[in-house]
Amino acid sequence: MTMSDKKCPYAPTQLTMGNGAPVADNQNSMTAGKRGPLLAQDIWLNEKLGNFAREVIPERRMHAKGSGAFGTFTVTNDISKYTRAAIFSEVGKKTEMFARFSTVAGERGAADAERDIRGFALKFYTEEGNWDMVGNNTPVFFLRDPRKFPDLNKAVKRDPRTNMRSATNNWDFWTLLPEAFHQVTIVMSDRGIPASYRHMHGFGSHTYSFWNEAGERYWVKFHFRTQQGIKNLTDDEAREVVGMDRESNQKDLYDAIEKGDFPKWKMYVQIMPEAEADTVPYHPFDLTKVWPKGDYPLIEVGEFELNKNSDNYFVDVEQAAFAPSNLVPGISVSPDRMLQNRLVNYADAQRYRVGVNHQQIPVNKPRCPVMSNHRDGQGRVDDNYGSRPHYEPNSFGQWQEQPDYAEPPLKIDGDAAHYDFREDDSDYFSQPRALFRLMSAEQQQVLFDNTARNMTGVPDFIQYRHIRNCHWCDPAYGEGVAKALGLSVEDAMAARDADPAHHLPSCL
């Protein structure tokens, strides 16, 4: 529905105040005399402006700009031998869901068509609780350790002095982290600006786990493949799109669903038996690495379509609270350090951003009974479990735990220490090298040119550092980026000893 053919679907209404009392005058404030000052007893004016001042809730710290829609997930292949999750129990089974896609670095009012990774967050309302799959449109991430996440956020967001985005901050940080190189290569590639949310794949990225009725555990990676085809924008096209329409992704998704052209994604999993994690030649819980599909092929699971726009953006999309800790029996986590931290950080952020009772908001509310015995708190809108005994154990059968749903034990060992993850699989370049060599000559040139444009204004020593990283990955990559920057690989190598970074990893 466009603005021009917009018809109001509601019957006429009569204005009241928040307490339900009629508003007699919504045009003229009450003043002392015709030209005199306002009166404090104008209670509607006070209430209206008071509410106005509190309309905005904090934006998400990352992924602030996003678009969402409701949909349906359908199982198309039986994977119940890997997981006891009710959502996958039989072929043909349908589960209602909500999806939100987002850019990462931009604020709530940022333009959509920016070079950035995209968030890909799904909430499945299963009968055994909400399962949230909070992923991205890339299979890897910049970091391996959550300690660096706030630094990443600072590096890609605004500079504290200029309040502008800073390519220097961005590239200084990225080039000092060899683990970021794989993700940086993807972001600078021809896939760095998806043409729309409908035209990109999604990935759980982390290794998660499945466990089945027999108590067997499998490591799992989730993939969501767009059925609309992959489409991307070049830097030039994106500039033009942003010049015409800052909401290009929102408009594309909203209009497609309004027209009945429902976007679809197929869900696949890669499955690794638990014991194989000890034998694969790469770190299976390292978020900067993929599992080669030759080793672990994609297994089809199902398909979801998005088929209903929200009637109110704030209520559903802005208040949506996706958390990797929203798991259900049969789907669980892995030892990935990044994922482990996300299990804490999202719900914590949401208690601040949306409130302690955010799980009661309709978009977040499970469609199955909830008996958490969390009580009270700001914004409690249900019956608060009435007069049930509010402690456990009790003599009245309330709040009984459900041992049938216990996850199989996971063997862990080790002494507590700050282990340097770089000493555990420090191969940062093989996978981006393979990716680089898969690109056609034309795609490689796009990568060089995107990188050079993105590094405009960045000091030479940081450009040299990136050229060296590209060179370690593949000499042709180093050569291509150096040329696009108007520099040389030889000068980049010679500049290594003069690099002012106090924390230059030995592999760089």
Only segment of 9-17, 242-250, 317-325, 457-465 that touches ligand HEM (CB under 6 A) = 317-325
Report, in Å, the least distance between residue 100 CB and ligand HEM: 4
Q: Find the shortest distance in angstroms from Cβ 104 to ligand HEM.
A: 7
Residue 439 near ligand HEM by CB under 6 A: no
- Smaller CB distance to ligand HEM: residue 324 or 480? 324
User: Contact between 102 and ligand HEM (CB under 6 A)?
Assistant: yes
Q: How far is the CB of 378 from ligand HEM (least distance, A)?
A: 17
Judged by CB under 6 A, the stretch of 161-169, 314-322, 396-404, 451-459 that binds ligand HEM is: 314-322
Q: Is 168 in the site for ligand HEM (CB under 6 A)?
A: no
Strands 217-226 and 264-273: what pairing? antiparallel
Among 82, 98, 125, 149, binds ligand HEM (CB under 6 A): 149
Residue span binding ligand HEM (CB under 6 A) among the ranges 291-299, 340-348, 412-420, 489-497: 340-348
265 is an interface residue for ligand HEM by CB under 6 A: no
What sign does the CA torsion over 466, 467, 468, 472 have?
positive
Find the catalytic residue in 136, 137, 364, 454: 136
- In the set 26, 28, 46, 63, the catalytic residue is 63
The Cα 416–Cα 147 span in angstroms is: 16
User: Which residue of 85, 133, 134, 271 would you call a contact of ligand HEM, by CB under 6 A?
Assistant: 134
**Distance (Å, whole) CA 189 – CA 117:** 11
Supply the minimum distance, in Å, between the C-beta of residue 119 and ligand HEM. 3
Distance of CA 310 to the CA centre of its chain: 19
User: Which tokens sit at 342?
Assistant: 């996300």
Q: What are phi and psi of 56, to 5 degrees?
A: -90, 130
Query: How many whole angstroms separate alpha carbon 396 and alpha carbon 373?
Result: 14
User: With contact defined as beta carbons under 8 Å apart, do 365 and 359 qualify?
Assistant: yes
Kindly give, in sequence order, each residue whose CB lies less than 8 Å from that of residue 250, ignoring residues fewer than 6 positions away: 67, 112
Task: Give yes or no for a contact between 95 and 124, defined as CB atoms under 8 angstroms apart.
Answer: yes
For the question of residue 307 being annotated catalytic, the response is no
Contacts with ligand HEM by CB under 6 A: the residue count is 28
Q: Label residue 188 exposed, middle or buried (CB < 10 Å: 0-12, 13-18, 19+).
A: buried
Stretch that binds ligand HEM, among 48-56, 167-175, 292-300, 348-356 (CB under 6 A): 348-356
Q: Is 121 in the site for ligand HEM (CB under 6 A)?
A: yes
Q: Which of 320, 331, 333, 435 binds ligand HEM (CB under 6 A)?
A: 320
Question: Is 355 near ligand HEM (CB under 6 A)?
Answer: no
Write the CA distances from 32 to 24, 44, 116, 238, integer angstroms: 18, 16, 55, 55
What is the C-alpha separation between 73 and 123, in angstroms, rounded?
A: 10
Among 321, 331, 452, 489, binds ligand HEM (CB under 6 A): 321
Which residues, numbered 27-86, are part of the site for ligand HEM (CB under 6 A)? 60-63, 66
Whether residue 405 contacts residue 329, with contact meaning beta carbons closer than 8 Å, is answered with yes
Please select the residue that binds ligand HEM; options are 342, 433, 465, 468, rule is CB under 6 A: 342
- The residue with its CB nearest to ligand HEM is 119
Is residue 359 a contact residue for ligand HEM (CB under 6 A)?
Answer: no
If the CB atoms of residues 252 and 474 are measured against ligand HEM, the closer one turns out to be: 252
CB 26 within 8 A of CB 44: yes
Please report how close the Cβ of residue 413 comes to ligand HEM at its closest, in angstroms.
24
Minimum CB separation of residue 156 from ligand HEM in Å reads: 12
Choose the binding region for ligand HEM from 7-15, 276-284, 325-333, 336-344 (rule: CB under 6 A).
Answer: 336-344
- Residue 264 CB, shortest distance to ligand HEM, in Å, is 19
Question: What residues pair up with 72 in beta bridges, in sequence order?
Answer: 96, 305
The verdict on 346 binding ligand HEM (CB under 6 A) reads: yes
Residue 145 or 449 with smaller CB distance to ligand HEM: 145
Q: Does 358 participate in catalysis according to the annotation?
A: no
Gap between the Cα atoms of 207 and 284, Å rounded: 7
Report residue 137 CA to chain centroid gap: 9
d(CA 505, CA 507): 5
Question: How many helices (H) and strands (E) would you count in the chain?
Answer: 13, 10
Q: Are 254 and 66 in contact (CB under 8 A)?
A: no
Q: What secondary structure does DSSP assign to 393-419, as a single string?
A: S-SS--S---GGGPPPP-------S--
- Please, are residues 25 and 32 in contact by the beta-carbon 8 Å criterion? no
Task: Identify residues 183-202 at the interface with ligand HEM (CB under 6 A).
Answer: none
- Rule CB under 6 A: is residue 144 a binding residue for ligand HEM? no
Binding site for ligand HEM (CB under 6 A): 60-63, 66, 100, 102, 119, 121, 134-136, 141, 146, 149, 205, 287, 320-322, 338, 341-342, 345-346, 349-350, 353
Active-site positions? 63, 136
